[in-house]
């Protein structure tokens, strides 16, 4: 997936076991961030950053989704522990990660950390790929949303 591409269609379970069909959210800006693993230091900082800025995302009308290969149960524990106000989606087979083309980093050992900002028409407008600076994803996504026409 590149800037300008239409968002791949997918359906995944959230941390509560509810099926989320991404098509149901077209019409609002979306922030979809792929991260390596629940409850690890970088991923926790990233998730808590999205949590702490959640009001700012809401001000832009945006919906935030985090996606990793962790199970629904792992996502549930992680979401409760850090009081995350957005859905974490379980991509246990990495089908959605692969559909987006999110590769592994650090010699193929760690799943990539990439954030996609999607406009209300379902087109990717911004991509930020940075494995090591997890907290920068929040600011980059907000900056991209700020460039959307009102």
Length of the chain counted residue by residue: 150
Chain centroid, CA 64 distance in Å: 6
Catalytic hit among 22, 43, 64, 127: 43
43 is catalytic: yes
- Residue 38 neighbours by CB under 8 Å, 6+ apart: 68, 70, 74, 75, 77, 78, 88
Residues 6 and 57: their CA atoms lie apart, in Å, by: 21
Active-site amino acid positions: 43
């Amino acid at each position: 997936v590149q800037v300008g591409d239409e968002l791949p269609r997918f359906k995944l379970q959230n941390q509560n076991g509810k099926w989320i069909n991404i098509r149901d959210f077209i019409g609002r800006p979306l922030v979809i961030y792929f991260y390596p693993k629940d409850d690890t230091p970088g991923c926790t900082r990233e998730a808590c950053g999205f949590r702490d800025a959640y009001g700012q995302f809401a001000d832009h009308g945006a919906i935030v989704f985090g996606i990793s290969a962790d199970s629904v149960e792992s996502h549930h524990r992680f979401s409760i522990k850090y009081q995350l106000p957005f859905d974490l989606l379980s991509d246990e087979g990495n089908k959605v990660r692969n559909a987006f083309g999110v590769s592994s980093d650090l010699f193929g050992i760690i799943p990539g950390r990439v954030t996609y900002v999607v406009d209300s028409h379902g087109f990717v407008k911004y991509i930020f790929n940075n494995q090591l600076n997890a907290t920068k994803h929040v600011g980059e996504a907000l900056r991209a949303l700020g460039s959307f026409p009102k």
